[in-house]
Amino acid sequence: MRASLIQIGVDEDESVDSRRRRVAALVRDQDDADLVVLPELWTTGAFAFESFAEAAEPLEGATYEAMAKAASDTGVWLHAGSIPERDPDGTLYNTSLVFSPSGDLAAVYRKIHRFGFDKGEAVLMGAGSDLVTLRLSETTVGIATCYDLRFPELFRGLVDAGAEMFVLSAGWPERRRSHWTLLAQARAVENQAYVLACGTAGTHAGVPQAGHSIVVDPWGEVLAEAGPDEEVLTVDLDPTRVATTREQFPALKDRLLGLETPRR
Ligand SMILES: O=C(O)CCC(=O)C(=O)O
Per-residue confidence (pLDDT) for residue 114, from 0 to 100: 98
Determine whether the shortest distance from the Cβ of 171 to ligand 1 is under 6 A.
yes
The whole-model pTM stands at 0.96
Provide mean pLDDT across the span 28-55: 95
Q: Is 157 exposed, middle or buried (0-12, 13-18, 19+ CB in 10 A)?
A: middle
Residue range 152-188, pLDDT digits in tens: 999 999 999 999 999 999 999 999 999 999 999 999 9
Q: Report CA(144)–ligand 1 centroid distance (Å).
A: 12
Per-residue confidence (pLDDT) for residue 158, from 0 to 100: 98
Determine whether the shortest distance from the Cβ of 115 to ligand 1 is under 6 A.
yes
Provide mean pLDDT across the span 212-223: 98
Per-residue confidence (pLDDT) for residue 12, from 0 to 100: 86
User: What's the pLDDT band for 264 if we cut at 50, 70, 90?
Assistant: low
Give me the residues paired with residue 7 across strands: 231
Determine whether the shortest distance from the Cβ of 46 to ligand 1 is under 6 A.
yes
Residue range 189-203, pLDDT digits in tens: 999 999 999 999 999
Taking the C-alpha atoms of residue 63 and residue 66, their distance in angstroms, rounded to an integer, is 5
20 within 8 A of 66, measured Cβ to Cβ? yes
Q: 69 pLDDT exceeds 80?
A: yes
Q: What is the CA 26 to chain-centroid distance, rounded?
A: 17
User: What's the pLDDT band for 215 if we cut at 50, 70, 90?
Assistant: very high
Residues 6+ apart with CB under 8 A from 263: none
Taking the C-alpha atoms of residue 212 and residue 231, their distance in angstroms, rounded to an integer, is 9
**Closest C-alpha to 193, from 252, 236, 109:** 252
Average pLDDT of the chain?
Answer: 96
User: What's the pLDDT band for 258 if we cut at 50, 70, 90?
Assistant: confident
Taking the C-alpha atoms of residue 190 and residue 152, their distance in angstroms, rounded to an integer, is 9
Per-residue confidence (pLDDT) for residue 263, from 0 to 100: 67
- For ligand 1, atom 2, the nearest C-alpha belongs to 147
Across the chain, where does the E strand assignment appear? 2-7, 9-10, 35-37, 77-86, 92-99, 105-110, 133-136, 139-145, 165-169, 194-198, 201-204, 207-208, 214-216, 222-225, 231-236
Taking the C-alpha atoms of residue 263 and residue 153, their distance in angstroms, rounded to an integer, is 19
Q: Return the best residue to mutate from 93, 176, 182 for the ligand 1 pocket (most ligand atoms within 8 A of CB).
A: 176
The percent of residues in the chain predicted with pLDDT above 90, rounded, is 94
Provide mean pLDDT across the span 77-82: 98
Across 46-155, where does the E strand assignment appear? 77-86, 92-99, 105-110, 133-136, 139-145
Taking the C-alpha atoms of residue 119 and residue 22, their distance in angstroms, rounded to an integer, is 31
